[in-house]
Structure 1
Amino acid sequence: MKKLSVLFAAVVMLFSVGMKAQKVASMDVAGVLSLMPEKKKADEQLDAYSKAKQAEMQKEAQPYQAIAQKYQEEAPTQTAEVNKKREAELQKMQSELQTKAAAVQKDVADKTDATYAPIEAKFNAAVDKVAKANGWDFIFDANSPSLIYKAGPDATALVKKELGL
């Protein structure tokens, strides 16, 4: 047993000597991004774009809703064959609306990606510059649920300064 503990201690010492000490910092990513004027402007533009697309979809859904209501009211007085045709027509219209809704969601996602890309690039460049200037190997998001280590220096103020915030 004593030999095993000595061997274990030797292995631990070898690993600790062989490992380079990592310099780690944490920062409030959401806090920094919320202060960037470009992000605020992009959020407003994307919100307006999303609302316009939603209004467009609602406008396109109105004829479907009107026809569905009409068919539902008239169904008891119609024959089974007529009701079946109307049901098929409504299903076709619903399918078209779903296709359009998927296209709208894709448009909004593409617009979001394109709008945030330059903001992310600017933010990442500032983080890279601050990390290199201070010799940090890692900077973790202080708000991340998978935060491993937060006792290091906080880079938030330096990144804000680099961005002029």
Structure 2
Amino acid sequence: MMKKILFIAGFLCLAIFSANAQRYAILDSKFILDKLPEYKEAQKQLDQLSESWQKELDALQTTLDKMYRDFEAEQVMLSDELKKKREDELFNKEKELRDLQRQRFGYEGDLFKKRQELVKPVQDKVYNAVQKLAVEKGYDFILDKSEGITVIFADPKLDRSEDILKMLGVNK
């Protein structure tokens, strides 16, 4: 009889604890994205653009390499004035190559912008589905395990940032 009472009391404590416990789920956004045809198409387009732009850079690099070889071979026969002119041409061609690399592949460059244009709508679609799932199933947190563990959804009512600011004496 005592075991039965302890079992029921333990079960009630567990039920009360789990009713107050935060609910969470884990998902793998990379796995989800890889299964979406529109994401695969966006990735394919980005790969094609990237390859095309890399060929453009490679051609410019080949031209620059030839200019250097020609300069090295002819340098001894050039006057100081012509030598300076060729060095300036080499410098300008190098700058053109660096600028084009930055324009195509740099931070907020063409590839970044194209990725935002093509991939972000698909990511937003997944995020909206995650939010809908969180609301429907009553999750407080949804964690994404695809690139380390990151919070992809958190119920705003659980955010305690304002409480911390108050504790630190910071007003809004």
TM norm structure 1: 0.69
CA distance in 2 between counterparts of 1:144 and 1:48 reads: 25
CA distance in 1 between counterparts of 2:101 and 2:148 reads: 33
Amino acid of the residue matched to residue 107 of structure 1?
A: D
Name the SS of the counterpart of 1:136 in structure 2: coil
Shift of 1:144: 4.0
- Residue 33 of structure 2 corresponds to which residue in structure 1? 33
Q: Does 1:110 align with 2:113?
A: yes
Match of 1:130 among 128, 133, 136: 133
- Residue 121 of structure 1 corresponds to which residue in structure 2? 124
Amino acid of the residue matched to residue 54 of structure 1?
A: Q
Contact 2:27 2:142 in 1 (8 A): yes
CA distance in 1 between counterparts of 2:77 and 2:41 reads: 55
User: What is the number of residues matched between the two proteins?
Assistant: 130
- Residue 50 of structure 1 corresponds to which residue in structure 2? 50
CA distance in 1 between counterparts of 2:134 and 2:144 reads: 13
Amino acid of the residue matched to residue 22 of structure 2?
A: Q
- Residue 22 of structure 2 corresponds to which residue in structure 1? 22
1:55-74 alignment runs, 5 A limit: 55-74=55-74
Q: Deviations over 1:72-121 (max 9, x none)?
A: 11123334553333222211221122112211221111001110121011
Unmatched 5+ stretches in structure 1: 1-16, 149-165
Name the SS of the counterpart of 2:102 in structure 1: helix
Q: Deviations over 1:15-67 (max 9, x none)?
A: xx9xx632111112211111111111111111001111111222333332222
Comparing 58-67 with 36-45, greater Cα deviation is found at 58-67
CA distance in 1 between counterparts of 2:150 and 2:116 reads: 26
Aligned in 2, Cα 1:45/1:98: closer, same or farther, shift over 3 Å? same
CA distance in 2 between counterparts of 1:63 and 1:144 reads: 40
Aligned in 2, Cα 1:68/1:113: closer, same or farther, shift over 3 Å? same
Unmatched 5+ stretches in structure 2: 1-16, 152-172
CA distance in 2 between counterparts of 1:147 and 1:113 reads: 21
Aligned in 2, Cα 1:147/1:126: closer, same or farther, shift over 3 Å? closer
CA distance in 1 between counterparts of 2:97 and 2:116 reads: 24
Name the SS of the counterpart of 1:92 in structure 2: helix
Higher relative contact order (CA 8 A, sep 6+): 1
CA distance in 2 between counterparts of 1:145 and 1:118 reads: 23
CA distance in 1 between counterparts of 2:147 and 2:111 reads: 26
